[in-house]
Amino acid sequence: MSGAATQISGRISRIVAVHSCKGGVGKSTVAIGLARALQRTGRRVGVLDADIYGPSLPSLVDGLPSTEPELSPNGRQVLPFVSADGLICQSFAFVARLWRRRLGDGSVVLRGDLVAELMAAMANHTRWGSLDDLVVDLPPGTGEVPLTLATAFPLDAAVVVSTPHALALADTIKGVEMLAKLGVPVPAVVQNMALFRCTGCGDVHRPFGPSAADALRARLPDAQLVELPIMPHDSGLGGSLAAEFDVVARALDAVDARLKRGGHALPLPTKQWSAPHWPTLMATAKLELK
């Protein structure tokens, strides 16, 4: 069957990456919070969990099925899962369920270049339909995998996530510089776990040190800086941090108004697989590029 028969039609108006240079800073939480903020404006939003080694989308979004994703009759297209509130979701965690049944193993032993190309394939073989926004939750760091993914996708903007730690700030600046070299605007920086509000007296405490907002503003004078408080159990995803995520969404809209980009037709201009059954062949690393 020809490669054209595997392609999915549709259009994505905007592709936004969420990136951090350190793991565990709340990047995936911010990605979901941003996606829901965009939803509140009436937009149709998809989320691509692009962290193959540590996918977290199924743990952060309630109501997603625990079953295998449905494949098209030719085995090359995947139907994404849709959350109870309408987020269109794709994650390697879903595809891994297919691998476990067919191969008896859901582990991932792949080189970095194959990981990046695998994610590009997943993006183009998921039946997104037409989206107003695709939020891509990138893996952390500035190494081979996030760098390849950032260049593989036609990104319109990126939101960078950090914490107040001095080391996290230094790494955040590295990530911002990587995105700048790729020509990707950074309209918002989110400092997660920046403060703690006492439920008794209402005082604000900063257990991890003073805010790095001034240092970030010096590097990104046009970016919107958003501070998120420490909250238990990712409870901010339930709506208590809606105002903060709405600020990030508006910062993205400001970039759109300035750059006036025209959106992206599917399939995205990334490398394609020509595989008779791409989930199985990717699982065994028997990959054939066109």
Closest C-alpha among 80, 91, 2, 52 to residue 272: 2
Closest C-alpha among 9, 35, 5 to residue 246: 35
Global model pTM greater than 0.85: no
Each residue's pLDDT tens digit in the chain (290 positions)? 233 334 456 789 999 999 988 788 889 999 999 999 999 999 999 999 988 878 889 888 888 888 888 877 776 778 899 998 899 999 988 877 776 665 555 566 666 667 777 777 788 888 898 999 999 998 888 877 777 777 777 889 999 998 887 777 788 888 888 888 888 999 998 888 877 777 778 788 887 777 666 777 777 888 888 888 777 655 445 566 888 889 899 999 888 766 667 788 877 766 444 333 444 444 444 444 33
The H helix count followed by the E strand count for the chain is: 9, 11
What is the residue extent of each domain of the chain? 3-283
* 3-state SS class at 233: helix
- Residue 81, amino acid: F
What does the DSSP 8-state code read for residue 284?
T
Strands 188-197 vs 204-205: parallel, antiparallel or unpaired: antiparallel
- Residue 217, amino acid: R
Strands 224-229 vs 188-197: parallel, antiparallel or unpaired: parallel
Helix (H) or strand (E) holding 228: strand 224-229
Task: Give, in degrees to the nearest 5, the angle at Cα 62 between 61 and 67.
Answer: 95
Structure tokens at 280: 């199985």
60: Cα within 13 Å, side-chain hemisphere: 27
Structure tokens at 39: 């939803």
Evaluate whether the domain defined by 3-283 bears CATH number 3.40.50.300.
Answer: yes
